[in-house]
Chain A
Amino acid sequence: MRILAEGEAPYLAVDPDGFRAFVRDHKQRALKPKLMSAHDAISRFVADGDYFVFDCNYFQRGPSTLVREVIRQGKRDLWLCGKFSYVDVGLLVGAGCVSRIDCGFFWPGATIDRAVADGRVRVFEYSNVVMTLRLQAGAMGLPFLPVRSFGGTDGFRHSGAKLVEDPFTGQPITLAPALNPDVAIIHVQQADVYGNARVFGTGIAHQESALASKKVIVSAEEIIDTEEIRRDPGRTSVPYYAVDAVVHAPFGAWPGNCGGYYGSDTPAVIETFAAIARDRVSEYVEKHVAPFADDAAMFDALVGQERLEKLRAAETITEGYRP
């Protein structure tokens, strides 16, 4: 295949055979309970230097409790899949957890500007869809997928994509390198103890992220019985054998919205934006993360049951979110 142009950025090595071997050796085939605390899940399955994908984001059915736990444990040198992200990238950068970012979209601000200017963080350029397509390729066990966007942009030049002559049509086509992250964290509405997980509502790439990643942590609003899963198997978004850890995390997407469960906590959302914009992430961490053993303690101290119940009551829409 003739290469017509190629991006110049480093990208996570493409190794579908290596990923298959990892899956063969490490993915649990037996139905074994995987329920554990956020602390144990992050401590066991997130390592310094990992390529790290989170699905959705800190405000929109994202794994916010798990992101806070990553910060709490001071993970370092992560390479972020920065697709469809508002403040997650800024929080993790500001907390010193990040060395590289593949950018689809993240909320910019002083925190990221300073980290990039100081040379602590490097950014490589993609788009949201190109990142979810890379995950799709990884989730299919393929080395790449073609895409009819992204070519001709400056992002392409600062990426790992290539423009080639399509051997079937003879036309130019962009190839996006497959992505098999080391670890994925995903927040869902319901899961059983084995990791059969249900996402209600739209999403970004929860299925792709789960299947493409070596280690997968699912946090769930509710832990449900496996009999319930079996009663409605079409509802299973991610099957158990992709999942390594299940965390029961009520309000695990706070301060965001979790469809069918609770609305967003607007003052807390604005407070998080402000931390990124003004480069005050360390103050944010000092307030929301560092003093507490886990999110339950943080909710008790900073939010309170009454406020959480109000957020629950504010979520009046149930259509599509209840089996």
Chain B
Amino acid sequence: MSRGDGTVAAGTPASSFNEREMQICTVARMVEDERTYWVAGGGGPMYAVLLAIRLYAPGAQYITEDGVIAPEPLLPFEPVMTMVSSRAGYRALAWGTMNTAGNHAQLGLMDYGLLNTLQVDQHGNINSTAIGTYGERARRFGGPGGADSIAALCWRTVLMTDQEKRKFVERVDFISSPGFLDGTEGARERAGLPPGTGPHRVVTPWAMYDYTTDRRLRLAARAPWVTVEQILAECEYPPVVADEVGVLSGPTEEELQILRSELDPRGQNTGERSAWVVFDGETYTRAAG
């Protein structure tokens, strides 16, 4: 059932959508059926997994940081009420607490972690704490929340972020949640993290990245309306570029119908500032964002 690498979508290509919708659809197609996902509360990750369960991977299950296991949430969510809320936890198979989620991931029960991030580096390290020089002149953000445990303990971590220069850097300003740390072999294990875990993919509205065998970020696929050069221009530190960069499918009408009418009818997530793209049957054209 799964679309595998996110590049292929079955359905009718949508004629008009925004780039946030594109990003969510790409991640949804990557969701593997009958696997477990620890999903960051709210935002793109949660909509992506919910879309996948509706359309591609009906047997995928997810948990959230408050110990909700495999819910069938009552949508839409009220603003920010994506955890410890009756709608978000509706019809779950079990309810627990934060230590439930942490312990279950630590046991190896979570196949994938699905996260948003502020900044990512060439080794997949994640910053959600501070931009600038920590402790001196930095803009403070919220901290890792549950992301540190997700990135440390789930078998594979999938990140969602925007394709902006300042978000793709050589080294993040602050490692809030671990990628491959300094990128050397065994760095995670030396830091006490379980073996066999780590960064898997990064998805932006324009691109999908994987990692080379020596643990460096690699551009693997692009949206059909951007070039590799355009993507690289939006990376402060250039990633490795795959020998053959794939082309992602645009969203389908079926995906957008579910996303817009069932999952996020108020446009709380997908409505925010992102550029629109139109498809005339042959060519995708991006309007200024």
Contacts and interface: CB of A to CB of B under 8 A. Distances in A.
Given A105-B145, A148-B152, A208-B99, 7 more contacts: A127-B146, A129-B146, A130-B149, A132-B102, A174-B192, A201-B95, A264-B80
B80 to A, nearest CB: 6
Contacts of B134: 154, 158
B140 A116 contact: yes
Contacts of A61: 84
B35 interface: no
Contact of A202 (B96, B106, B145): B96
B253 interface: no
Interface in B69-104: 74, 78-81, 83-87, 89-91, 95-99, 101-102
A240 interface: no
B145 A153 contact: no
A72 interface: no
Contacts of A112: 140
Contacts, number: 201
Nearest to B145: A105
Contact of B89 (A132, A158, A201): A201
A173 B91 contact: no
Nearest to B151: A149
B149 A203 contact: no
A128 B175 contact: no
B98 A132 contact: yes
B169 to A, nearest CB: 14
Interface string A153-167: 111101000010000
A317 B97 contact: no
Contacts of B174: 154-155
B178 to A, nearest CB: 5
Contacts of A106: 142-143
Contacts of A144: none
Nearest to B84: A60
A171 to B, nearest CB: 7
Interface stretch (B15-23, B60-68, B230-238): B60-68
Interface stretch (A24-32, A40-48, A255-263, A301-309): A255-263
A61 B85 CA distance: 8
Q: Tell me which of A82, A129, A156, A201 has the highest count of chain B C-beta atoms within 10 A of its own C-beta.
A: A129
B144 A128 contact: yes
Interface string A209-240: 00000000000000000000000000000000
Interface in A289-318: 315, 317
What does DSSP make chain B's interface, helix, strand, loop or mixed?
loop
Nearest to B87: A317
Given A113-B139, A150-B152, A163-B192, A84 B79 contact: no
A134 to B, nearest CB: 11
Contacts of A125: 129, 143
Contacts of A60: 81, 83-85
Nearest to B179: A152
User: What 3 A-B pairs are tightest by C-beta distance, nearest first?
Assistant: A152-B191, A105-B145, A149-B152
Contact of A105 (B85, B144, B153): B144
Contacts of A206: 97
Nearest to A206: B97
Interface stretch (B5-13, B160-168, B182-190, B217-225): B182-190
Interface of A: 56-57, 59-61, 82-84, 86, 103-108, 112-113, 116, 123, 125-130, 132-133, 136, 147-156, 158, 163, 171-174, 201-208, 257, 259-260, 263-264, 266, 269-270, 273, 315, 317, 319-321
B97 A155 contact: no
A127 B189 CA distance: 19
A202 B78 CA distance: 17
5 contacts: A204-B84, A257-B86, A269-B78, A269-B79, A317-B74
B207 interface: no
A173 to B, nearest CB: 5
Nearest to A131: B98
A275 B91 CA distance: 34
Contacts of B102: 129, 132-133, 147, 149
B140 A56 contact: no
A296 B78 CA distance: 25
A206 B191 CA distance: 30
Contacts of A103: 129, 143
Contacts of A132: 97-99, 102
Contacts of A84: 65-66, 83, 98, 145
B153 A155 contact: no
B192 A172 contact: yes
Nearest to A314: B78
B148 interface: yes
A173 B106 CA distance: 13
B176 interface: yes
B66 to A, nearest CB: 4
Given A59-B81, A84-B145, A151 B98 contact: no
B89 A259 contact: yes
A173 B191 CA distance: 7
